Amino acid sequence: MKYSLALLALPFLCAAANIPRAATVTTLPAYTGTLTLTTATRIPAGGSYDGKMKRIDTGHPCELDVELGDADIVFILGEGATLSNVIIGPAQKRGVHCLGKCTLNNVWWSKTCYYGLSIVNQKAGDKTTISGGGAFGVKAADNGMWSDLNVMTRADSVECSHREQRRWYR
C-alpha cells in the first residue's frame, strides 16, 4: 500500500520536507460582535454567508449525546455552499454541517462540541475545502490506545478489548 512505499522513502523525504510555508494564526481572532441564532442558519445550495467576524452560536449549551434538531446546529450548508469569516461560539451542540461538498473560509470554533464540522453526505469525486480558521476544544483523556503505537490505531475509542488487532493496515 501507499504507506509502505512512504516508509521506504522517509529518509530522503525528511530532507525535502523542510519547505518554506506561511505562518498559521494560532489565536482566536477578536470578534466584531455576537449573534445568537436559536435555530440553524441554512445556507442554500451554492449560496454563501459572510459572518463578518461575528461570534455566532445558538445559545444552547453543548451536549454530546443528543438527538440533533434544528436548534442544535449553528450552520447547515447545502451542497456547494460557502461559509466565511465567522467565529462559532461556545453555546451550541454542533457547529457546522455540510450536506454535500462545501467551502469554509476563515471559520473558527471558539469551543468545539464533539466535532466542529461534519460533512454529512459528500459524493465521491467532490471536494470540501477548509481554508484558514481554526478550532479550540478539549482533548479527551488519553485512554492509552493512542500513545504507545507508532502508527495510528483504528480502535474505537470506547471499546478497547482487541486493540492489538486494530492497527492500521498499510
Partner 1 sequence: MWNAVIENNGAGTVEISNFYAEGFNALYKSPGYSAPGAIARHAIITNVSAKNGNNLAGEFGALVGADLNLDTDDIRYQLQLWRYCKDHEVELDLGYQCVQQIPGYHGQE
Q: Does 146 bind partner 1 (CB under 8 A)?
A: yes
Select the span of 36-44, 66-74, 84-92, 116-124 touching partner 1 (CB under 8 A). 116-124
- Contacts of residue 63, Cβ cutoff 8 Å, sequence gap at least 6: 72, 93, 113
Q: Cell 530522503: give the residue.
A: 12
The alpha carbon torsion through 25, 30, 35, 36 (nearest 10 deg) reads 70
Least gap, CB of 1 to partner 1 (angstroms): 7
Q: Does 36 bind partner 1 (CB under 8 A)?
A: no
The alpha carbon torsion through 68, 49, 56, 95 (nearest 10 deg) reads 30
Q: Does 35 bind partner 1 (CB under 8 A)?
A: no
Binding site for partner 1 (CB under 8 A): 1-3, 6-7, 9-10, 13-15, 17-19, 21-22, 24-26, 64, 100-101, 109, 112, 114-140, 142, 146-147, 149-152, 154-157, 159, 162, 165-170
